[in-house]
Amino acid sequence: MTTSMAVRRRAVRGALSAMFALIATCWITTPADAAKRDNKALDDETLGYIESNTLAIFYHELGHALIDVLNIPIYGQEEDAADVLSVVLFDEIYEKEDSDLIAYDAALSMLIDAEWNDDGGEAPFWDVHGLDLQRFYTLICLHYGGSPETRENFRVDFELPDERAAGCADERALAESSWGGILDEIENEATGSAKFKFVREHEPGTEAQSYMLEILQDEVTHWNTFVHLPEIVTVSFVLCDEVNAFYDPELKAILICAEYADYLVEQYRE
Ligand SMILES: [Zn+2]
């Protein structure tokens, strides 16, 4: 699998590191510092949760975009393929510790979605997306399968049964071999000279939206340092009137709804 993508650090660290930072600096907190902290509406844990899930959803939509512009044949549901890319990229781009935090937050979000969308047993079996809980267990399995020796707690916390866990290293290997060649292709100059283009269609109305916008801009800048596409793919931060994210093959555009940022804050408070 490709190794030249630069390893990144998350901007906001997880709950544990934020706590240590507080312990380390509390002796020198001045009234001015305290006021600044109190004015900050969202704490680091919430921002971390927004960051993880913004990355997870962006990588999922990226999967749709790559399948489209590179004409990748998909045998099965494209939604599943996009979910698989998202998980594979956590380890591909981030250090283990950060990858674990992202996977943990993304899994939590799917679990809350499943709970909130529970419509009394009337599951939408007709939908192109797998059922929320199926997507959740696949995420757990693929992330666990990337390093079973260090991710046993992750598997246990999210209650992935032994029956599925036994095959997760193999599921993961298949995921990496499926997407690995495609990631190599976009790093190859021969693929094209186009890049991602970021469009800020909506001015953020909340701190969560500002933070999501910042993360997306930063992602696009980062990907553009190595990506080669056959045509321009737009990444737009937009207002949608719904909590969602899309890939539009007509426009060659990934659309991330600003409302998603506020929804993530609601989820985290849950
Ligand atoms: Zn999708």
Query: CB-based contacts of 16: which residues, under 8 Å, 6+ apart?
Result: none
pLDDT tens-digit map of 155-172: 999 999 999 999 999 999
What pLDDT, on the 0 to 100 scale, is given for residue 119?
A: 58
Ligand 1 centre distance from Cα of residue 62 (Å): 9
Crossing angle of the two packed helices 15-25 and 44-69, in degrees rounded to 10: 140
Question: Which pLDDT score, from 0 to 100, does residue 41 have?
Answer: 83
Cα of 65 vs centre of ligand 1, distance in Å, is 10
pTM equals 0.86
Structure token pair of residue 243: 């909590």
Measure 180 CA to ligand 1 centroid, in angstroms.
19
Q: Which residue has the tokens 């953020």?
A: 204
Q: What is the pLDDT of residue 96?
A: 93
pLDDT band at 148; cut points 50, 70, 90: very high
**105 contact partners, CB below 8 Å, separation of at least 6:** 48, 49, 52, 53, 56
pLDDT at 166: 97
Ligand 1 midpoint to CA 82 (Å): 6
pLDDT band at 28 (very low <50, low <70, confident <90, very high): very low
Gap from CA of 252 to ligand 1 centroid (Å): 14
Instruction: At 31, list the tokens.
Output: 């009234």
Q: Are 202 and 238 in contact (CB under 8 A)?
A: yes
- Using the mean position of ligand 1's atoms as its centre, give its distance from the Cα of residue 83 in Å: 8
Residue 243 has pLDDT above 90, yes or no: yes
Q: What is the mean pLDDT of the chain?
A: 86
pLDDT surpasses 80 at 109? yes
Residue 57 CA, ligand 1 centroid: distance in Å: 9
**% of the chain surpassing 70 pLDDT:** 81
Does residue 200 register a pLDDT over 90? yes
Least confident of 15-29, 105-119, 125-139, 213-227: 15-29
Q: Which tokens sit at 171?
A: 């599921």
Q: How far is the CA of 56 from the centre of ligand 1 (A)?
A: 11
89 band by pLDDT with thresholds 50, 70 and 90: very high
* Burial tier of 109 (Cβ tally within 10 Å: 0-12, 13-18, 19+): buried
Is residue 7 predicted with pLDDT exceeding 70?
A: no
| Percent of the chain whose pLDDT exceeds 90 | 75
Q: How far is the CA of 79 from the centre of ligand 1 (A)?
A: 5
Question: Would you say residue 180 has pLDDT above 80?
Answer: yes
DSSP codes, 180-246: HHHHHHHTSGGG-SB-EEEEE-S---SHHHHHHHHHHHHHHHHHTTT--BSS-EEEEEE--SSS-EE
At 254 the three-state DSSP class reads strand
Strand, helix or coil at 153? helix
pLDDT in tens, 60-83: 999 999 999 999 999 888 999 999
Give residue 52 CA to ligand 1 midpoint distance, Å. 17
Whole-number Å distance, alpha carbon 176 to ligand 1 midpoint, is 19
Average pLDDT over residues 230-257: 96
Give the residue-averaged pLDDT of 201-220. Answer: 96
pLDDT grade for 11, boundaries at 50, 70 and 90: low
d(CA 144, CA 114): 20
